[in-house]
Structure 1
Amino acid sequence: MASQQQFPAQHTTTTSAPEQSDANKIRFNKNYIKAIEGRLKIVHLVVSIIVFICTMVSDYNRSSQADWMSFVSMSAFWTSLVLLFFWLINLTRVLSLVPWLTVELGYTFIWTFFWFVAGCVAAAFAAQGAGDAFAAASFFSYVGMCVFGFNAYYFYKQWRESGNQINFSFRSGTRNATSTTATTTTTTTTEHKY
C-alpha cells in the first residue's frame, strides 16, 4: 500500500517582531545640531530674527512693506524652529511616512524666493527714505536668500542622489531609507504510524 502522508500532529510557529531601535523612538538627537542641516536651521533662525528686529525698530514699522518683511521673517523663523524641534526630538524618524526631504526642499525653495522679494521691497523702501533700518533689513534679507538658497540646493542634491525617492529619515548626520526585518521560526513534529 502506498504510504499516505498525514497532517502533522503538532505544529508550533514562533514569530519575533524586530526590535525597535532607539533611532525610531522620540529622544534627543544631538547629532542633528552637528550636521549641516541643523547648523543651517540655526542660521535661518538668526537671520529671521535680525530681519524682524530691523523692521520693527524702523520708523515705518506699520507700513505694508514692514508687514511683508514681518511675514517673511516670522514665518521663516517659526517654520524653521518647528522643523528644528522635530529633528531634535527625532519625531521625523517616528513619522517616517512624511517625505521630510521633499517638504524641506519645497520650504527652502519657496522661502529663497520670498527672501529675494523681501530684500527688493526693503531696498526700494530704504531708497525712498525709510531709513537705515530698512537698508539693514534688505541686506539681511539677501543673506537669508543666500542661506535658504544654499539649503535648497543642498536638499535638491540629496533628493537627486537618492533617485528622487521621497521617503527619507535622518540618522547621525546623514539621511537613509529605513528598513525592518522579522524572523519567523516554524517547528513541525510529525508522528509516523507503522
Structure 2
Amino acid sequence: MADPGFPGRHTTTTQVTQTSVSPQFRFDKSYIHTIPGMIKIACIVFNLLGFISIQVSAFSHHSRGSYFSSIAMTGFWFTVLMLAAYLFHVCEKFYKIPWLKIEMYFCALWTVLYLFAACFAATFASGAYKVGALFGFIAMCLYGYDAFLKYNAVRRGEIAQGVRIVEQRQQQTTVTIA
C-alpha cells in the first residue's frame, strides 16, 4: 500500500531565462520614437523651460527659485545622460546594471521633488514663477508616468535594452510504488 503522505504525481517547474544583447556601442535614433524616448525628450524640454522661466524672473535669487532651478537642472542633466545612454546603447552593453530600477527610483523621487518645487513656485507672487510652476507640474506628471512604466517593466523582469526571454517548463513525474 502506498504511503498516503506521499503524492502519486509530482510536478516540477523550471524557469529558463535567455538574454540577448549586443556588446557594441552604436547610435540608434529609433529610441526617440518609443514612448519612453518621447517622455525623456518632453522631460528635457519642460525641465529647461521651467528653469528658464525662473531664471528670467527678477526674483531668481529667492530660495524658492533656487530650489526649483536645482530640481530642474538636475532632472535635465540626468535625463539627457539617460537619453544618450539609450541612443548609444550603453544600457544594452552594460545590461547587468539595473538601469530600469535606477530610472524608476529617480523618476519617483523627481515626481515628489517637482511637486514641492512647483507648489513653492506657484505660491510666489511672480508671473514668471507661475509659468515655471506650470512647466514643473507638467514635468512632475511626465516623471510620474515614466516611473509607473519603469515599475511595470521591473515587475515583468525586463531589461532596459536588449531582449530577455523567460520560458517556464513543467515536467510531471509519476511515482508508482510496488
Is TM more than 0.5 here? yes
Q: TM-score by structure 1 length?
A: 0.71
Match of 2:59 in 1: 60
Residue 160 of structure 1 and its aligned partner are, at CA, apart by 1.8
Match of 2:164 in 1: 177
Give the aligned residue type for 2:139: G
Query: Percent identical across equivalent pairs?
Result: 28
- Please give the residue correspondences for 1:103-182 in structure 2 after superposition, counting only pairs within 5 Å: 103-125=102-124, 129=125, 131-162=126-157, 168-171=159-162, 176-177=163-164
Residues 21 and 93, structure 2, Cα contact 8 Å, conserved in 1:
no
Partners of 2:134 and 2:64 in 1: CA distance? 15
- CA RMSD of superposed structures (Å): 1.8
* Structure 2, gaps ≥5 residues long: 1-19, 167-178
Give the aligned residue type for 1:145: M
Residue 169 of structure 1 and its aligned partner are, at CA, apart by 3.4
Residue 34 of structure 1 and its aligned partner are, at CA, apart by 1.4
Q: Deviations over 1:104-136 (max 9, x none)?
A: 1011100000110111110121xxx2x100011
Residue 24 of structure 1 and its aligned partner are, at CA, apart by 2.2
Q: Deviations over 1:142-162 (max 9, x none)?
A: 111111111111111112222
Q: Deviations over 1:155-193 (max 9, x none)?
A: 11112222xx7xx2314xxxx3389xxxxxxxxxxxxxx
Residues 49 and 73, structure 1, Cα contact 8 Å, conserved in 2:
yes
Aligned partner of residue 61 in structure 1, secondary structure: coil
Residues 119 and 138, structure 1, Cα contact 8 Å, conserved in 2:
yes
Q: Deviations over 1:77-109 (max 9, x none)?
A: 000000001111111111111101101101110
Residue 22 of structure 1 and its aligned partner are, at CA, apart by 8.1
Partners of 1:80 and 1:67 in 2: CA distance? 20
Give the aligned residue type for 2:77: W
Residue 31 of structure 1 and its aligned partner are, at CA, apart by 2.1
Q: Deviations over 1:40-85 (max 9, x none)?
A: 1000100000000100011101111111011010000000000001
* Structure 1, gaps ≥5 residues long: 1-20, 180-194
Aligned partner of residue 27 in structure 2, secondary structure: coil
Give the aligned residue type for 1:144: A
- The structure with the larger Rg is 1
Change (3 A) 1:69 1:158: same
Aligned partner of residue 177 in structure 1, secondary structure: strand
Residues 48 and 74, structure 1, Cα contact 8 Å, conserved in 2:
yes
Q: TM-score by structure 2 length?
A: 0.77
Residue 23 of structure 1 and its aligned partner are, at CA, apart by 2.7
Aligned length: 147
Aligned partner of residue 155 in structure 1, secondary structure: helix
